[in-house]
Amino acid sequence: MDEKLRTSGVQVIGDIAWGTHFCQFYRTQEELVNVVCPYLKAGLEGNELCIWALPRDFETKKEAEGPLRRTIPKLDIYLEKGQMEIISYKDRYAEKEIPDSKKALGNLIKKADYALLNGYSGLRLVQDTSWLKNDWKNLTGYEEELDIAIENRRITALCTYSSGKFDTDETIYAALSHRFVLVKKEGNWEKVENPRLKKAEERVIQPSGEVETKTEEENENLKKLLEERTVELTEAYKSLKVNEKQFLQIRKMTHIGNWKWDILTGELHWSDEVYRIFGRDPERFKATCDAFLGSVHPDDREYLINSIKKDFDEQFRNIDYRIVLPDGEERTVRTRVEITFDEENQPVRAEGIVQDITELKRIEKALQEREEQYRAFFENSMDAVLFASPDGTIHAANKAACKTFGMTEKEIIRAGRNGIVDQSDPRLKPSLEERNSTGRFKGEINHKRKDGTIFPGEVSTALFKDKNGLMKIVIIIRDITERKKAEEVLRKSEEHYRMLFTNMTEAFFLGEIILDRDGKPYDYRFLEVNPAFEFHAGVKGEKVLGRSHLEVFQKADPTVIEKYGQVASSGKPAHFEFFTHLTNRFLDIYAFSPEKGKFAAIFRDITGRKKIEEKTRQRAEEMETLMEVTPVAIWIGHDPQCHNITGNRMANELYESEVGENVSVNSNPVRRFFKNGHELTVDELPMQKAALKDINVRDEEIDVLLPSGELRTLLGSASPLHDADGNVRGSISASIDITQRKKTETELKETLDNLENLVKGRTEELEKAYSSLKESEKRLAEAQKMAHIGNWDWDLVTNKIYASDEMCRIFGLGPQEFDANYEAFLNYVHPADRDHINAVYRAVLNGKELVGMDYRIISANGQERVVHGQGEVTFDRENIPVRIRGTVQDITERKRTEKALELSEERYRIIAEQTGQLVYDYNVEEDTADWAGNIEEITGYNPDKFRNMNLQSLISLIHPEDEKKFLEKYERFRTYGGTYRSEYRFKKENGEYIYVEDQGVGLKDEKGEIKRILGTIKDITERKKAEKSLANIEAARKREIHHRIKNNLQVISSLLDLQAEKFKNKKNTGDVDVLTALKESQDRVMSIALIHEKLHESKGTDKLDFSPYLMKLVESLFQTYNLGNKDLSLDMDLEENIFFNIDVAVPLGLIVNEIVSNSLKYAFRDRDRGTIRIKLCREENEKPEHQKHENSKGDRKSSINNFILAISDNGAGLPEKLNVENASTLGLQIINILVEQLDGKIELSRSSGTEFTIRFPIA
């Protein structure tokens, strides 16, 4: 830093250096501005950023601007450009706000950095800190921290104090916290230096042998030497404890302990971590070679002994073996041994480390099991599964794929994508583009088999990286031919789902995404909403349908619109939670896309749950943090009698107890309590007094005799705890250990009694401490090297970082080559992780707890490594972080193992989700199962509840009629192995039964017994419904065909009976008569056949469009009865869109056949020309009397339509004597019967030819 002196502007002060921190005591406002104004003027003229934080003496900033303008004419210019800032007390703090010293110092440092970044020479500060007297307990502590903070920065600080607000003692303490003090004496300002803050330029270490004389001057030197040696010894102890703490922390974090074995004497020494790894109590277990071998698994002892013997020739080799803990648990450990040889090359000592690698072995085993699960699922999936590259190359195909395509696996691989996909399908190219852009695709594409047949397939694809980092694709294909056939039948279920949509309790709406000019979603339009949406949104459906979100609600969260846009464009569903400011509620939203550009969303209100979760989380976090980070021993009594007492971390360390151990007076081991030499009873202890008497106990000092025989002195307080009804439910006690303080007081008294002997003793202790420190550092370096763990120490005030040799090696550097600052450290951090590291440490500087984290580094040789960082923050008296210590461990190999496991699990999860099935892994011995897939969607059960069910619980959910069949198949499978397949009805949580298809394969152990079952469960309810629906349709179709054929045959039979009656009355029947009769019967049958032909052409409807049918019938009769050269014309007036069912069409067609054929045969025998007219229409006139009568009796409904059929010719006409209703001719008899069948009336007119008018009703 540039050490050039700065002009103070105050004559009595002169020039000052950067980092100067001084104060002024004033009595009046005039005395204050006499110093502050010239001081600030000099700073402004020296291009410094100047800040004056006003005292309470000034009500407003304008009051301070007056005297400043008199001294600084250009004040307004400085204020406008921002070089001068005036801050009033009210602007700094709210009326009742407590000032935060940590925040104040932090803001000061930020302001200084801002000044330098904006071209100013530095920062000149004037501030009033008298408010610290009332709001902070330690005024001098803040001033000392301020002095440290600005010492190496371009800052000068003047603190102003009003003399009337401080008594004599407070004035002295305030003055001692500054470099010098300005006070007014006899009308003049005087500068009073503070000799306490002058720094020593070098350390003076004098050997104790130089103290030889007893002169008064030498005695004084002796006292100074004692002080110096005491300080040095204290610092040495601190450094030793820091190294020991780091060493223990490393071993505890990595589960690494160290041991030594004297081969000649047989003596074996274990560290505390080794005892923890082996589950042994150091007080009860004596570590010997035989005891050690007794803890080794019997199957591994010989291997371990031979391996250690081999190490006599081969140094530094890892040995993995199993140990058995006292409770029978097996653990796996790794030992690294180093042998020391004597001059004759004989082994004399062995030492090394032990690390618990049980979890590492578990991960390796889990990876192997996942691979087995994946392979079993791949081989036994009901859908075709392929593994391929993005270019279409196929690498593997399962049995289902071979069956689906009619090929062997080699043939599928040889064919590739082009050989199994229909290249003419227009959906192929977009599907590949979508997969390449999003990493996934799900849709339908046509495929082709080996024989060339095309079939529709439902395809799900997903990209993933293999263990070599290459992109691969998993493709799942399902033949949906049968599903396509059933879709038409299933379409009829839409009405049911519409009812569900209307009555569901979750809010639902269908929306259409609106894009801006750049094609990005910015709004959406409501297409459909259900009643629950109206209730949750508080708006009627008619007010939102067809309108956009912004039109209805004016505001929209862009994040939610973006998610909806992604769903609508990609077709992939999304599930997320969102807080809406429209109703101030938390919503749980599930969105999916029914078609491109649209989305449907279902949401429900989870505000209540969120509030409970947040409150619970905050409370748990606060309590956990308080209990673990406080440097105070805290005990909690969990009952009113304090029979069960547990403590926090500090309490357990103090009482030499384990986590969760009951430390009440009635528990073992026994602890005794004394006060002033008197042993206390249970009721006299602070916690018990607080609970039993419901009182607060404050600042009580007691002595505790621990089981180890150590006596400690505690100073603490206790308070009762109450339940919701105000009853005492226990108590809480907080204490600090003041044993050391007591000892220090005693030692200090002894020190004052004999200075000379103490100097000699302290000198010897210092030498021992240095020796111990050197040995500790050596052990620490060895442990770090073996465990690949380095440690570091970051001084936040000086920004200097110390890095151990092992940390340098991890970063690819030689010992002590690490640049000692934070910026140099960041240069080694991977660029993608730097922002995260910066954010973590910024949070730590703002008071957040530093937790362990993994991040990547680029070592000096360019290699990318993964490390795990762990740290601990040290705070000063004002709770400001001043130092961070921590460790760095190289975990690159562990991360590679975890990544391989994650890759296997990801492939397993993708396949399970894409198939829409439940995948299970059932452990036969443990009667437990691991499940994958959407459990709640298929079974209706909560996933956690479903996973806790055993086999018997699941069997109880099978329909009673299907249970026996299932158990027979299952037992046969357990007996003979192989695979099994079963269909049964499964009971969902809501009581509904669904059909499922269960397929599984057994995995056998080395004895050939099935130990695990891997399988899938698929919901086939819809398939079963489709099969049943198709069967019902087929049965109904057969019944209808049978009915129609039966009715038609009955009509034909009746007509033939009438024809036969005609021949009964004739004595002689000639061939011509027979042919004529058959011809007439043929015409009648033809009219019926024509009706069925028209019905067939109407594609399955049960009604006939009668007018076109009538035209074709009459034209056919004209062709049949061809009358030579006669000119006969046909005049037809037929109303359109008249539809009759078959029961009306058949008799009506027969009537037309009889009348028209009769006219063609007889009306024009002696004429050359003629006309036949036919009219069919609805009757618009008043209803006939018989219909009125029937309606009045209620036999007919008011919806009856009346029709008129009129057929006439201008021929010879019928005889006058002919009675139509009692005619003897067959044709008129048929007509009368059919009219009566239609419930109609017939009228005959002979005015000009013959005209039949028939009226009949149709309901």
Q: Are the C-beta atoms of 434 and 873 separated by less than 8 Å?
A: no
State whether residue 989 is helix, strand or coil. Answer: coil
State whether residue 797 is helix, strand or coil. Answer: coil
Q: Are the C-beta atoms of 496 and 1029 separated by less than 8 Å?
A: no
Q: Which of 148-152, 227-231, 337-341, 451-455 has the lowest mean pLDDT?
A: 227-231
Please state, in angstroms and rounded to a whole number, the distance separating the CA atoms of residues 303 and 148: 60
Q: Which domain holds residue 477?
A: 381-485
Please state, in angstroms and rounded to a whole number, the distance separating the CA atoms of residues 134 and 57: 16
Span 913-936, pLDDT tens digits: 666 688 888 998 889 988 888 888
Q: Which of 161-165, 547-551, 576-580, 854-858 has the lowest mean pLDDT?
A: 161-165
Asked if the model's pLDDT at residue 402 lies above 80, the reply is yes
Q: Are the C-beta atoms of 565 and 520 separated by less than 8 Å?
A: yes
Q: What is the percentage of the chain residues whose pLDDT exceeds 90?
A: 26
* Residue 713 within a domain: yes
CA atoms within 13 Å, Cβ hemisphere of 277 = 31
As a whole number, mean pLDDT of residues 961-987 equals 88
* Residue 909 within a domain: no
Structure tokens at 1200: 């009856």
Burial (CB < 10 A; 0-12, 13-18, 19+), residue 971, is exposed
> What is the band of 752 on the pLDDT scale with cuts at 50, 70, 90?
confident
Residues 603 and 647 in one domain: no
Please state, in angstroms and rounded to a whole number, the distance separating the CA atoms of residues 443 and 458: 6
In this structure, the strands spanning 789-795 and 864-875 are unpaired
Q: Provide the residue type at 1235 as one letter.
A: V
- Residue 9: predicted pLDDT: 93
Task: Please report the beta strands in 656-748, taking only residues with DSSP state E, as ranges in sequence order.
Answer: 672-675, 678-679, 697-705, 711-722, 728-737
As a whole number, mean pLDDT of residues 676-683 equals 86
- Residue 539: predicted pLDDT: 85
> What is the band of 94 on the pLDDT scale with cuts at 50, 70, 90?
very low
Q: Are the C-beta atoms of 1233 and 1239 separated by less than 8 Å?
A: no
> What is the band of 225 on the pLDDT scale with cuts at 50, 70, 90?
low
Which is more confidently placed, 265 or 448? 448
Q: Provide the residue type at 720 as one letter.
A: P
Q: Are the C-beta atoms of 701 and 738 separated by less than 8 Å?
A: yes
Residues 258 and 276 in one domain: yes
Q: Provide the residue type at 1225 as one letter.
A: T
Which is more confidently placed, 1200 or 860? 860
The full DSSP string for 1102-1158 is SEEEHHHHHHHHHHHHHHHT--TT-EEEEEEEE-SS-EEEHHHHHHHHHHHHHHHHH
CA atoms within 13 Å, Cβ hemisphere of 222 = 21
* Residue 763 within a domain: no
Which is more confidently placed, 70 or 1080? 70
Q: Provide the residue type at 931 as one letter.
A: W
> What is the band of 201 on the pLDDT scale with cuts at 50, 70, 90?
very low
Per residue, what are the HEC states of 897-934?
A: HHHHHHHHHHHHHHHHHHHCCEEEEEECCCCEEEEECC
Number of CB atoms found within 10 A of residue 839's CB: 10
Residues 349 and 389 in one domain: no
Which is more confidently placed, 70 or 660? 70
Q: Of the candidates 752, 749, 717, which has an alpha carbon nearest to the alpha carbon of residue 732?
A: 717
* Residue 1060 within a domain: no
Residue located via tokens 């044993």 = 739
Q: In the listed set 135, 169, 197, which residue is the last one of a domain according to the structure? A: 197
- Residue 1064: predicted pLDDT: 55
DSSP state of 1252: E
Q: In the listed set 862, 895, 928, which residue is the last one of a domain according to the structure? A: 895
Please state, in angstroms and rounded to a whole number, the distance separating the CA atoms of residues 537 and 704: 65
CA 17 to chain CA mean position, Å:
56
Domain tally, the chain: 8
Span 823-832, pLDDT tens digits: 888 888 999 9
As a whole number, mean pLDDT of residues 878-884 equals 88
Residue located via tokens 């397939």 = 457
* Residue 237 within a domain: no
Which is more confidently placed, 283 or 1197? 283
> What is the band of 1063 on the pLDDT scale with cuts at 50, 70, 90?
low
Number of CB atoms found within 10 A of residue 1077's CB: 17
Structure tokens at 995: 């059909």
Please state, in angstroms and rounded to a whole number, the distance separating the CA atoms of residues 883 and 793: 7
CA atoms within 13 Å, Cβ hemisphere of 1242 = 25
Average pLDDT, whole number, for the chain? 81
> What is the band of 773 on the pLDDT scale with cuts at 50, 70, 90?
low
Q: Are the C-beta atoms of 660 and 627 separated by less than 8 Å?
A: no
- pTM of this prediction? 0.30
The full DSSP string for 45-69 is HTT-EEEEE--TT-SSHHHHHHHHH
Q: Of the candidates 701, 878, 720, which has an alpha carbon nearest to the alpha carbon of residue 144?
A: 878
Asked if the model's pLDDT at residue 1062 lies above 60, the reply is no
Asked if the model's pLDDT at residue 556 lies above 90, the reply is no
Please tell me the total number of residues recorded for the chain in this structure: 1259
- Select the highest-mean-pLDDT range: 946-950, 1124-1128, 1131-1135, 1195-1199: 1131-1135
Residues 317 and 262 in one domain: yes
As a whole number, mean pLDDT of residues 948-954 equals 88
Q: How many helices (H) and strands (E) does the chain have?
A: 40, 48
Residues 305 and 403 in one domain: no
Question: What CATH number should be reported for the domain holding residue 927?
Answer: 3.30.450.20
Residues 877 and 920 in one domain: no
Task: Please report the beta strands in 366-411, taking only residues with DSSP state E, as ranges in sequence order.
Answer: 384-388, 394-397
Q: Which of 316-330, 502-516, 998-1012, 1087-1101 has the lowest mean pLDDT?
A: 1087-1101
Residues 921 and 984 in one domain: yes
* Residue 225 within a domain: no
Which is more confidently placed, 1164 or 816? 1164
Asked if the model's pLDDT at residue 38 lies above 90, the reply is yes
Please state, in angstroms and rounded to a whole number, the distance separating the CA atoms of residues 657 and 661: 6
1015: which strand partners?
920, 1000
Task: Please report the beta strands in 59-119, taking only residues with DSSP state E, as ranges in sequence order.
Answer: 84-87
CA 316 to chain CA mean position, Å:
45
Q: Which of 96-105, 716-725, 1074-1083, 1201-1210 has the lowest mean pLDDT?
A: 1074-1083
Q: Which of 82-96, 625-639, 1084-1098 has the lowest mean pLDDT?
A: 1084-1098
> What is the band of 941 on the pLDDT scale with cuts at 50, 70, 90?
very high
Q: In the listed set 895, 928, 949, which residue is the last one of a domain according to the structure? A: 895
Q: Which of 202-211, 482-491, 726-735, 952-961 has the lowest mean pLDDT?
A: 202-211
As a whole number, mean pLDDT of residues 1167-1174 equals 90
Asked if the model's pLDDT at residue 176 lies above 50, the reply is yes
Span 288-300, pLDDT tens digits: 888 888 999 999 9
Q: Provide the residue type at 286 as one letter.
A: K
> What is the band of 214 on the pLDDT scale with cuts at 50, 70, 90?
very low
> What is the band of 401 on the pLDDT scale with cuts at 50, 70, 90?
very high
- Select the highest-mean-pLDDT range: 490-499, 500-509, 558-567: 558-567
Please state, in angstroms and rounded to a whole number, the distance separating the CA atoms of residues 915 and 477: 9
Residues 191 and 254 in one domain: no
Q: Is the dihedral of CA 107, 113, 115, 121 positive or negative?
A: positive
Burial (CB < 10 A; 0-12, 13-18, 19+), residue 125, is buried
Q: Are the C-beta atoms of 611 and 603 separated by less than 8 Å?
A: no
Asked if the model's pLDDT at residue 133 lies above 60, the reply is no
Structure tokens at 70: 């008199």
- Residue 424: predicted pLDDT: 94
Residues 1157 and 1238 in one domain: yes
As a whole number, mean pLDDT of residues 389-396 equals 92
Residues 309 and 353 in one domain: yes
As a whole number, mean pLDDT of residues 1150-1160 equals 90
In this structure, the strands spanning 188-193 and 598-605 are unpaired
Q: Which of 166-170, 256-260, 814-818 has the lowest mean pLDDT?
A: 166-170
> What is the band of 1103 on the pLDDT scale with cuts at 50, 70, 90?
confident
Residues 936 and 881 in one domain: no
Span 177-197, pLDDT tens digits: 788 999 888 788 998 887 655
Residues with Cβ within 8 Å of residue 213, at least 6 apart in sequence: none
Structure tokens at 83: 């070089």
Asked if the model's pLDDT at residue 538 lies above 90, the reply is no
* Residue 214 within a domain: no
Asked if the model's pLDDT at residue 1189 lies above 90, the reply is no
Which is more confidently placed, 779 or 839? 839
* Residue 1033 within a domain: no
Residues 116 and 186 in one domain: yes
Residues with Cβ within 8 Å of residue 3, at least 6 apart in sequence: 17, 18
Please state, in angstroms and rounded to a whole number, the distance separating the CA atoms of residues 764 and 39: 53
Number of CB atoms found within 10 A of residue 772's CB: 15
Question: What CATH number should be reported for the domain holding residue 164?
Answer: 3.40.50.300
Tell me: cis bond preceding 521? Omega within 30 of 0 counts.
no
Span 581-619, pLDDT tens digits: 777 888 889 999 999 999 999 888 888 888 888 887 888
Q: Of the candidates 169, 196, 126, 164, which has an alpha carbon nearest to the alpha carbon of residue 25?
A: 164
